[in-house]
Amino acid sequence: MGFFSLVTGRPGASGFGSASTAEQVTEGIDAKNLTAIVTGGASGIGLETAKILALRRAHVIIAARNIGAANKAKQIILEENEKARVDVLILDLCSVKSVRAFVDSFIALDLPLNLLINNAGVMFCPHRLSEDGIEMQFATNHLGHFLLTNLLLEKMKNTAKTTGIEGRIVNLSSIAHVHTYGNGIRFDRINERSGYSDKRAYGQSKLANILHANELSRRLQAEGVNITVNSVHPGIIMTPLMRHSAFLMKTLRFFTFCIWKNVPQGAATTCFVALHPKLKRVTGKYYVDCNEMKPSSYARNEKLAKRLWDFSNKLIDGASSKS
């Protein structure tokens, strides 16, 4: 899938392309036996993802920091689809305490878990630390999802085993993963203000999303678990995620309008990877415009992925010991 395909929307090998919408790529798919968690499902492509999963009859849990916005999102879905099964739970991904509380609340619902859509994130924000003392973009985009996924993994494994239905985890990354710090992840300076770049910090967190997906995929394959893990680039879409750089993005969009997507198109790759039968048993891959693509060399570095895994666990242990 090259620039020509991006601009024209020409379908790739999957039969879909940049112009495909989430509704189109899931047409005819019945997800009535599936339960899905969508982080950041209160707005943007997260809301569109939740809406389409509900349209395909999945039971959707919207996990969001702003519970008011999440309840509004639920009402939007129900107004369009009165039979939709949607629940809302609060989740602040930049807080280890909140992630653990969310998982406790979800487990208390006694539901199965087939799909985990790690969608939420922050973008290009000024340097600041989370309540756990971790740089905000890394904490929210990567670490919170890393912990959330680990805490929900046993539930997903049990669901896959008892139902025989393949579980799927989708990490939303970005083409921005190619624009990161030297050596990919600045492990020794992850929280430092010195040398901080909001753009490279975002790219670092998106690289971490792919590395996390790849390493988890390898571990689950080694266990023989019926769960796949893939990462996606949704495309360039004007959503609330861009609130820290709205002027820059609007200016960029004026000159590059031909490569921007609308929200239904932006949610297409996520929904394709989460639901489409073509991706059965496909794991550890990176998708753009509903087609597999090769990510950066850093993203394919197994040693870097393993180091990030251990580093992430140490950060979580440190944050947990403080709370």
Report, as residue numbers or ranges, the catalytic residues: 196
Please provide the DSSP assignment of 138-203 as one string.
Answer: IIIIIIHHHHHHHHHHHHHHHHHHHH-PPEEEEEE--GGGGS-BTTBS-GGGTT-STT--HHHHHH
Q: Please classify residue 163 by burial: count the beta carbons closer than 10 Å to its beta carbon, then call 0-12 exposed, 13-18 middle and 19+ buried.
A: middle
Residues ≥6 apart with Cβ < 8 Å to 20: 9, 11, 265, 268, 272, 289, 290
Spatial contact of 238 and 249, defined as CB atoms under 8 Å apart = yes
| Rounded Cα gap, residues 303 and 266, in angstroms | 31
Amino acid 310 reads D
Which token pair is 86? 């949607």
Three-class SS state of 236: strand
Ramachandran region, residue 124 (left: φ > 0; alpha: ψ -120 to 50; beta: rest): left
Which token pair is 81? 């689809």
Residues ≥6 apart with Cβ < 8 Å to 54: 60, 77, 81, 84, 85, 86
Q: Please classify residue 105 by burial: count the beta carbons closer than 10 Å to its beta carbon, then call 0-12 exposed, 13-18 middle and 19+ buried.
A: middle
Three-class SS state of 135: strand
Residues ≥6 apart with Cβ < 8 Å to 232: 170, 171, 172, 173, 269, 270, 273, 286, 287, 288
Which single residue is written with the structure tokens 């495309």?
Answer: 235
